[in-house]
Amino acid sequence: MEIKKLQQRVRRRLLPLLRRQRMAVLAAPVVAAVLLLTWAAYGEAQYVLYKDATKPVEARVTDLLARMTLAEKIGQMTQIERQVASPQVLKDYFIGSLLSGGGSVPRKQATAAEWVSMVSDFQKGSLSTRLGIPMIYGIDAVHGHNNVYGATIFPHNVALGATRQAALLSPRFAKLLPFFTNREIRFCLMFLSRDPNLVKRIGAATALEVRATGIQYAFAPCIAVCRDPRWGRCYESYSEDHRIVQAMTELIPGLQGDVPANFTSGMPYVAGKNNVAACAKHFVGDGGTQNGVNEDNTIIDRRGLMTIHMPAYLNALQKGVSTVMISYSSWNGIKMHANHDLVTRYLKDRLNFKGFTISDWEGIDRITTPAGSNYSYSVQAGVLAGIDMIMVPNNYQSFISILTSHVNNGIIPMSRIDDAVTRILRVKFTMGLFENPMPDSSMADQLGKKEHRDLAREAVRKSLVLLKNGKTSDKPMLPLSKKAPKILVAGSHADNLGYQCGGWTIEWQGDTGRITVGMTILDAVKAAVDPSTTVVFAENPDADFVKNGGFSYAIVVVGEHPYTETKGDSLNLTIPDPGPSTVATVCGAAQCATVLISGRPVVVQPFLGAMDALVAAWLPGTEGQGVTDVLFGDYGFTGKLPRTWFKSVDQLPMNYGDAHYDPLFPLGFGLTTQPRTY
């Protein structure tokens, strides 16, 4: 339309001028020539290589980078929290990324449409800038889209580390056992029989639910190797053994899509607008801190770091992970957020990682002690270490001002800024963000859809580990009868969806009660049993009530309260009150199956003798029917411990292969049952 108007103006003004000058003979060819030149000049001015989706990603990145000012580059390196953002802020500061921290939502119980509206408004601010670079929105979708009301909440990673592949349970596999030594068989059952395909399917479902809210970036998976259950983030780790963690990096192609043939390891990859950028975290050694203290010091030699904590990152890069988040922790006293040797020389240079690195929440602030005491130094140290995007997340004006000053004063070279922005743009171009920057409102029905809940239910039943079944081996208690006349369900966790989901659910620290849409274990019991069965719920009954209740059996559901990060650090790992007394009272008066809801092994040896059955249910999420599927025998127990279960906390840290290894239940332990035929 603009070129036509320009041509019309040329005709109106040039033709009369030529005629007045008695050059009518030349008028037509002169005007034609001018019009052609006008068209060519306009076309050349309007063609922008970086906006051309047919051009290679690297060419587009180079073209766009060359057009950017320092302010625009630093803006791309800045990630801010949605609560301090506005479309105008994104426009004025050229902000490259937003995030929602735990519990940061448009409103309580916001719908997918409300999320989409919010993200769209922010994105419009980014697209209105001179270069129109879209922002990327990140969120902690660590066991489903767990910040969002109504989303499917999957079991936490520790539970997924307990799942077992059906293929290695088959008769075909059993026929091969005579050809292996006992050690080899144990290795297969312990390490090779996990279910990475299940984790991949969970990743794909999570990506769809995240996209349903307009978000394009998930801070997952956590590929920490938790070596001490006293660590408050141990449930975010798949296992104490790096081989299990490596297998579970299949979440990445679930989130991002499968990389193409002849893919170059280290390059970022996102298949399309139904996928999201993933984030391998927390680089590196976060699960090995001394005494399991969160964000503390991992004391281990380089060989130990490389053989225990690093291997899963190699798998992540082979699968095209787009981003890597740096750990709060230190390695032998050096803060990872300031560790140039590992972030730049090893991850970027040696492993050839070409996506972008991102700090953790206020991660650079914590380079100094106390945190934030020398923010100017923190900015310098973090960026020079090789961190590309800084999760500021609130004080963005200070960060931008300081980083700008460091560059202008030669403290941080422009080459480091260009490297960071190149990586950020590479991810944005690779994932198609320039072509599809706006949310797709038609995906709203993906949030909490039945197929995803069915998948979560499958994950729950496959992750449960049966630790005890009957007081004698010849008299198993499980599976339970659905046709018992009267049963008791007791315990603080039986009818509490918040406790069942754990931390990182709706709120950062999790919460209690009916915090989202889902089915508690009590709900599931009532749905599973025969209509003639009476189900009585008493959260913490006294002994007389249990003895005189005429119950065929009792199901006791107790465990840890929700926690996240440092608030979950524990030196004693005991079950909170009144859990132990509930177990003692109920199991002392009736036949009882105890279902333990926890993010890690906890102290159970003192109560084990009183229990008829004990099930480690981990943090199962919203689909409580996955628990009753195996309790009542619709499916058999198949889960295997992803972690060593200690006898006493005095043994910790204790991992498989240690010289002092003397567990209550070893890594890989798990009793099995067969489905019941009704």
User: What are residue 144's DSSP bridge partners?
Assistant: 153
Quickly tell me which residue has 């001028």 as its tokens: 17
> CA distances (Å), 593 to each of 148, 472, 548, 605, 627, in order?
33, 14, 18, 15, 12
Count of residues for the chain?
678
Count of beta carbons in the 10 Å neighbourhood of residue 66: 10
Asked if residue 653 has a cis previous peptide bond (ω within 30° of 0), the answer is yes
Ramachandran angles phi, psi of 351, nearest 5°:
-85, -5
Within its chain, how far is the Cα of 123 from the centroid? 23
Ramachandran angles phi, psi of 200, nearest 5°:
-60, -45
Tokens of residue 165, six digits: 């592949």
With b for 16 or more beta-carbon neighbours within 10 A and e for fewer, the 345-360 pattern comes to ebbbeebebbbbbbbb
Q: Comparing C-alpha atoms, which of 320, 76, 105, 84 is closest to residue 214?
A: 105
Taking the C-alpha atoms of residue 549 and residue 587, their distance in angstroms, rounded to an integer, is 13
- The catalytic residue positions are 360, 565
DSSP alpha helix (H) spans, 169-291: 171-176, 182-187, 196-212, 242-247, 251-256
User: What are residue 325's DSSP bridge partners?
Assistant: 358
For the chain, the first-to-last Cα distance in angstroms comes to: 73
Tokens of residue 575, six digits: 């079950």
Tokens of residue 3, six digits: 């070129």
Quickly tell me which residue has 């449960």 as its tokens: 464
Taking the C-alpha atoms of residue 538 and residue 550, their distance in angstroms, rounded to an integer, is 14
> Cβ neighbours of residue 346 under 8 Å, at least 6 residues apart?
none
DSSP-derived pairing of the beta strands 136-139 and 97-100 = parallel
Taking the C-alpha atoms of residue 281 and residue 178, their distance in angstroms, rounded to an integer, is 40
With b for 16 or more beta-carbon neighbours within 10 A and e for fewer, the 592-620 pattern comes to bbbbbbbbbbbbbeebeeebbbbbbbbbb
- DSSP character for 53? T
Amino acid residing at 16: P
How much is the CA Rg of the chain, to the nearest whole Å? 29
